[in-house]
Amino acid sequence: MYNDARHFAAMDGQSTRTAVFVGRVVHANMAPRHKQGHFVLFDKNEPVQVGDDIFVVFVNGGSIVWRLDGISETELTVHSYAPEMTETVSRRLIREFYPVMWSVKGIERADLGTDL
C-alpha cells in the first residue's frame, strides 16, 4: 500500500488524537541534526517541552526548526547549531510551534501526498 494522501486521510478518521503533519526544513541552522531540504514530522496534539526540537511557523508564513531552550508567555528562547547560537524570539512573531517527532531525508521534487 502506498503512503498517499488517501491512506493518511483514512488513518486520520480512525484516530481522534493524532494530528501528524510534515514540514520542510528550509534553513541549515539545525544541521547536521535536521538538514536543509529534509522533512520533519510533527504532531499538533503533542505538548512542547524544553529541550525539544520544534517546528515554528511565523505569522508571515515562514517556518524554521529550532531547539527549545526556554518558554514564557511572551517569548521563546531557542537554539541553533549552524551557527551555534541561542536567541530570544517574541511570541507575537510566531503563529504556532510543535515538537518535531522525526526527520527524514528530502526527496527531490517530492509530492508529499504520494512520495513519502
**pLDDT tens by residue, 17-39:** 667 888 889 999 998 888 998 99
| Residue 82: Cβ within 10 Å count | 14
Angle formed at CA 35 by CA 57 and CA 70, multiple of 5 degrees = 50
pLDDT at residue number 109: 56
Mean pLDDT of 38-55: 93
Phi-psi region of 6 (alpha: psi -120 to 50; beta: other; left: phi over 0): alpha
115 falls within a domain: no
Give the H/E segment covering residue 36. Answer: none
Number of domains in the chain: 1
pTM here is: 0.74
- Round the average pLDDT of the chain to a whole number and report it: 82
pLDDT exceeds 90 at position 10? no
Q: Please give the residue range of the domain that contains residue 98.
A: 5-109
Work out the angle at residue 28's Cα, subtended by the Cα atoms of residues 42 and 97, and round it to the nearest 5 degrees. Answer: 30
In a domain, 71, yes or no: yes
Q: What is the CATH number of the domain that holds 92?
A: 2.10.109.10
